[in-house]
Structure 1
Amino acid sequence: MKRREFIAGTAALLISPCYSRAQGKRRRLGFLAVGDGGGKALNQAELVLLDTLRSLGWIEGKNLVIEYRFSHPSDRLATSVADLIALSPELFVAPGPQAAVALKSATTTIPIVFVSVADPVKLGLVQSLSRPEGNVTGLSTMVPDDFLAKRLEILRELVPRASKIALLVNPANPMQRLYLAEDVPRIGRELGVALLPVEAATAEELDVAFASAAAQHADAIIDFGDTLTYVQAPRIIALAAKYRLPANYLFRHYADGGLSVYGADPRDLFRRAAHYVDKILKGAKPSELPVERPTKFELIINMKTAKALGLTVSPSLLVRADEVIE
C-alpha cells in the first residue's frame, strides 16, 4: 500500500462514527422532567431508558453525557429549559406533555423525543403520527380514540350505580387541559354520567382533590395519569381507600393496592424511546421516525381491594382482565 493511501485510509477510520464511539466520544443529551414528582431522580419507568441505552452501547459517563433538569415546582420550567439549551445537547428527551411543549417552544433544530404524550397531534407537537415533520417525534399513550370512555366503562362495570365520577387532573398538564375542554363534556353526555374534575398540581394538593371528590359525593374516581400521579401512586391509593372511592388508574404499578388499571406500560414506552434516541444519534431525523403508539393495553383488577370496598366483580370483566390480583 502506498504511503498516501495508508494515511488517507487511517484518517477515514479516525473520523468514522464507529471509531469515534469505540474511542469513547461523548454525545450529549438533555433530559427534562416537569412537575412535582417529589424528588430529583428518575422514576422506575424512566430508568428503563438508561438500561436500554446501555444495551445499545450508549453508556452514561463514557460515550454519553446526560444533562438532567427536574423542574419542581413547574414555575422553574423556563429556567430549566434555558439551562439545557445553553448546554447545546444533540437531542432532548421529554417525558410528558409539559416538557415536550416547553422544549418545542424553545428550539426548532435540536431533535426532541417525547414519551407518554396522549395526543401529540392535538397538542401541536407533530403534524401527524405517520409524518411528524419538524424536530419532534416519540411515543404516545392514550390510543385508541375515546380511551377515557373505555376507562369509564370499566369503572362503571365495577360500580354499576355510579352516576358521579371524579376525574383527578393536573391543571399544569396541557394535554389534560385540552381533554377537559374538548372531550370530557362530550363523553359525559354520551355515557350519561356526571364527570367532576378535581385538580392537583402538587403532592400536597392531592389530599384536597380527594376531599373535594368526597364532598361532591362522587361514586368513584379516575386518575387521568401524569408524572405527578405516577410518582405519588402510594399516596393516591391510600387516599382512595380513605374516602372509599373505587378507582381506575393508568399505570400498572398502581395494581399494588389500586382497584383497577387500564393503560399502556410506561416502561415499555421508555424502552422504545431509547431506540429512537439511538437512531437519531446515528443520524436519523425525527421527521423520518413516525410517532409510535402503545402496542398493548393491560386490564388489571385487584380483587382484594374490590372486596375491601364491598364490590362484586362481574365474571365478564374478570374474563377480559389480563391479570387478576387475589
Structure 2
Amino acid sequence: MKQMAVMPEASKQPSRDYRPSVLGRLKKDKWLYILLLPGLLYFIVFKYVPMWGVLLAFKNFQPFTGFLKSEWVGLEHFQLFFANPEFFMLLRNTLLLSLYNLVFFFPAPIVLAILMNEIRFALFKRTVQTMIYVPHFISMVIVASMTYVFLTTAGGPVNEVLEQYTGRKFEFLASPEWFKPLIIMQTIWKECGWGTIIFLAALAGVDMEQYEAATMDGANRWRQIWHITLPAVRSTIVILLILRMGNILENGFEQIYLMLNPLNRQSAEVFDTYVYMMGITQGAFSYSTAVGLFKSLIGVVLVVGANYLAKRFGQSGLY
C-alpha cells in the first residue's frame, strides 16, 4: 500500500511578514493619533519653533532692523558675559541654590513618601495627603506675601516672638545670609507634598508578601524600609535625579524675583532674574539670549553626563 506524503499547506508558499503601510497604520489607529495631536502641536509651537530665536545670541538684534537683517556678531555676547564681573556672582548664587535644593529638597519627598507608606489607618493617611497637597496649588505670589507678613520687622509675628526672647529683631527679608534658607524652606513647604505622588505610586506596586516574609524572618521596620521600600523607588529616584541635573541652573524665576530686593541682591541674583533684567528691563535682547543659551547648554551636558553615570552604575537612565 502506497503511502502518500501530505505536504502542509503552509509549505507550498513562502511565508511573508505582513507589514501595513504608513497610511494603513494611520487609518487603523487614527483615534490614538488624534489624541496625540494636541500635545504634538504644543511642543511644535511652543518648544521647537521658538528654538530659531537662539540665533539672537549671535546677532546684534535691533527691533527696527528686524531679526533677519540684524548684524551677525558671532560669540561677542558670550565673551562680554564671561568677562562681566557679575558672572561669577551669578554662577555662585545659582549653583549654591541648586546644591541646597539637591541636598535638602530632593530627599524630602522621598522621606515623606516612605513615612506615608508606613501609615496603615486609611482615613488618616488620606487626610494627611490632602493637607500636604494643598500648598502646591497656592500661588508663589501668595507664598512670598505670607513670608513677608510673618517675617517683616514691622509687626511680623516671628520677629515679635524673637524680640521678646532676644531683645532684638532679625532682618530676615533684607539679609543676604537668610535669603537661601528662606527659598529652600518655601520650596519644601510648597512642593514637598506634591512630590510624594510619584514615589507613592511606585511604592503601590510593591508586593505586600515581601513585607510579610521579611517580618517572618525577624526584620524590623527599618530593615524592611532599607531592603524593600528603598529598592522599589530606586529607579524612580535615579530618573528624577537625572532630570534635576538638567535644571541645575534653573532656580525658578518667579520665586527668586518676588524675594529679591536691593539689600539681598548679592546673594539672590541668579541667571533667570539676570536674563529678565537685561532682556526685558534694559532691552539687551541678544545679550540676554546668549546668557539663556549658555544656561541651556550646561543643562544638556549635565543631563547627558548624569545619564551616562547612572548607566555605568547599573541603573536605568532616560535613554
Q: TM-score range by the shorter chain?
A: under 0.3
Structure with bigger helix share is 2
Whose strand proportion is higher, 1 or 2? 1
| TM-score w.r.t. length of structure 1 | 0.21
By relative contact order (CA 8 Å, sep 6+), the higher-ranking structure is 2
Pair member with larger Rg: 2
Q: What's the TM-score, normalizing by structure 2? A: 0.21
